[in-house]
Amino acid sequence: MIKRYLPLIIVFSCGFFMIIAFFIPLRWFQNTSQTLQNWYTGIINFFVFIGILNLARVNLEKIVKKRTDFGYSIVLLVFLLLMMVAGFFMGGTGGRAFLYMFNNFQVPLSATMFSLLAFFVASAAFRAFRAKTPEATLLLVAAVIVMIGRVPVGYWIWHGFPNVVEWIMNVPNTATKRGIIFGADLGLISMALRVLLGIERSYMGGGKE
Amino acid sequence: MKLIERLAHIDRRILFLLVALAVIIPLLVPMGLPVDITKPVQDIYNMVESLPERSIVVVSADYDPGTEAELYPATEAFLEHCFRRNLRVYMIGLWPGGTTLANIALNEIAQKYNKVYGLDYINAGYKPGGQVMLLSLGRNVADVVRTDHAGVPIDSFPLGRAVKAARDMSLIMTLSAGDPGVLHWITYFRARYGTPIACATTAIMAPQQYPYISSGQLIGILGGLKGAAEYETLVKRKGRAVAGMDSQSIVHILLVIFIAVGNVVLIYQKRKK
């Protein structure tokens, strides 16, 4: 019983307290709300620790059982350890060792991964961006105008191109995005209410009582 | 017709090669295409120009090395403008790698303008907690920022002592690559404390921010490398963004050609059936 109802009581009381505190400017409400927020920030730091432990556990298991591509797990764990040693014992995140690895390994490797997108987009543009329906044709025409008008060559071809792009961004794009934002936020409010009232309980896990 | 048949089954490595050439050649042989200035970029520039000297600008490095190519040039151009205008810069980050990366630009540009760490600029480092951290930051900075990025108590610096709450911040500039980022600053900081917010985002995120510009919740946006190039042009800085504009132009033209050819192939295949 306690295992089932205690989380619901905590969520209900904390959640509604935060909503009420938002509208009541009395010192006690504001200070308590601030304390709860500070607790949250502290708990978030534990999540980072748990994340690292989980990452290490999953990859160690992969290495021990010699699963497919376990070599990548070795590289990951070695560099995780190296970065942690450099960060904790060799001058912190501003130290030479940490910065050397950050600037020479993490920055170029991450940038390379992101840059690969350009090649996949090119391939997708050729194979998938097809005017099969009137809606798809409209999307395609808008995309081509934005692609050309968003770069200096568009301005060079015709000085009015950037203005057309700004109109697309400010009118059709904004109208559509607003609709999506309102829809998503209404969904968010109803979901929050379901959690606070204990109707939605999936965050408690599916284990037995 | 044989050509269209061949195009329909073109090896994607040929497309990759063409993209690579379209990127590399303009970098080696620049064309110097003119960079136009759009309103959302001009608005940020005007806002910075309108701030009184010694105002405090919070620069939030909410990105990581993956988006360095787009957001680092924007970081450099914006910091250059701030230091040239004699504004004080308070850096913070919602992403772990952001402040480490942006700190390089911060130190380089601060040195160029003979700025003093702790007095004219400071790096408070990465702060976890997303939206809740932002709510606490606006109410009482000391609740979330106790040390700078190097672990030195923030109160030991004059600028650290000067920033107590949102009311001390004249402008927030978030260099945002996703979540947490610009949306959190707008929803939890601007809405609660009313501090003006500007942003630089990746090109893919830019269209999502336009509703907030038209509602007045966002001053403007530096969208992708093009936005950074526009800001570099405004602050008269010869940076990586303007240099990359020729490549980006040619790649976009190439993509349009790919789309056109792809659709010609589609029409041909339909007629053949």
Residue B205 lies in a domain: yes
Range of the domain at B159: 39-238
CA angle A123–B209–B217, rounded 5-degree value: 175
- State the complex-level ipTM: 0.86
| CA A198 – CA A33 distance, rounded (Å) | 21
Return the CATH number at B87.
3.40.50
Same domain, B12 and B82: no
User: Is A23 near chain B, with CB under 8 Å?
Assistant: no
* B117 Ramachandran zone, left/alpha/beta (phi>0; psi -120 to 50): beta
Q: Does B208 lie in the same domain as B179?
A: yes
Please state the φ and ψ torsions of residue B61, each to the nearest 5 degrees. Answer: -90, 85
CA-to-CA distance for A207 and A195, rounded, in angstroms? 18
Q: How many domains does chain B have?
A: 2
Residues 6+ apart with CB under 8 A from B216: none
Residues B188 and B233 reside in one and the same domain: yes
The tens-digit pLDDT sequence of chain B (273 residues) is 688 888 888 899 999 999 999 999 999 999 989 999 999 999 999 999 999 999 999 999 999 999 999 999 999 999 999 999 999 999 999 998 899 999 999 999 999 999 999 999 999 999 988 888 999 999 999 989 999 998 899 999 999 999 999 999 999 999 999 999 999 999 999 999 999 999 999 999 999 999 999 999 999 999 999 999 999 999 999 889 999 999 999 999 999 999 999 999 989 888 887
On whether both B188 and B261 belong to a single domain, the answer is no
DSSP-based three-state secondary structure for A24: coil
Q: Are B200 and B143 contained in the same domain?
A: yes
Give yes or no: residues B136 and B209 share one domain: yes
**Position B69 in a domain:** yes
DSSP string across chain B = -HHHHHHHT--HHHHHHHHHHHHHHHHHS---PPPP--HHHHHHHHHHHHSPTT-EEEEEEE--GGGHHHHHHHHHHHHHHHHHTT-EEEEEESSTTHHHHHHHHHHHHHHHTT--BTTTEEEEEE---HHHHHHHHHH-GGGT-SB-TTS-BGGGSHHHHH--SGGG-SEEEEEESSSSSHHHIIIIIIHHH---EEEEE-TTTHHHHHHHHHTTSS--EEEHHHHHHHHHHHTT---HHHHHHHHHHHHHHHHHHHHHHHHHHHHHHHHH-
- Residue numbers in A near B225 (CB within 8 A): none
Mutation target vs B (from A107, A148, A151; most B CBs, 10 A cutoff): A151
Which chain B residues in 214-253 lie under 8 Å from chain A, judged by CB atoms? 214, 223-224, 226, 229, 245-246, 248-253
Whether residue B224 is found in the same domain as residue B264: no
User: What's the pLDDT tens digit per position in B95-137?
Assistant: 988 999 999 999 999 999 999 999 999 999 999 888 889 999 9
Chain A residues in contact with B130 (beta carbon < 8 A)? 44
Chain B stretch 161-190, residues whose beta carbon is closer than 8 A to a beta carbon of chain A: none
B152: in domain = yes
Any domain includes B243: no
Residue B187 lies in a domain: yes
Q: Are residues B73 and B24 in the same domain?
A: no
CA distance A64 to chain B (A): 30
Structure confidence by residue, pLDDT tens digits, A69-86 = 999 999 999 999 999 999
DSSP A208: -
Same domain, B116 and B11: no
Query: Do both B62 and B165 map to the same domain?
Result: yes
Whether B259 and B164 map to the same domain: the answer is no
Residue B264 in contact with partner chain A when CB distance is under 8 A: no
Nearest neighbour of B144 by CB, restricted to A41, A129, A181: A41
Clarify whether residues B267 and B161 are in a common domain.
no
In a domain, B8, yes or no: yes
Query: Among residues 16-35 of chain B, which lie with CB inside 8 Å of chain A?
Result: 16, 18-20, 23, 33-35
For A170-177, which contacts have Cβ atoms below 8 Å and span 24 or more sequence positions? A170/B210, A170/B213, A170/B214, A172/A142, A173/B207, A173/B210, A174/B210, A174/B211, A174/B214, A177/B207, A177/B208, A177/B210, A177/B211
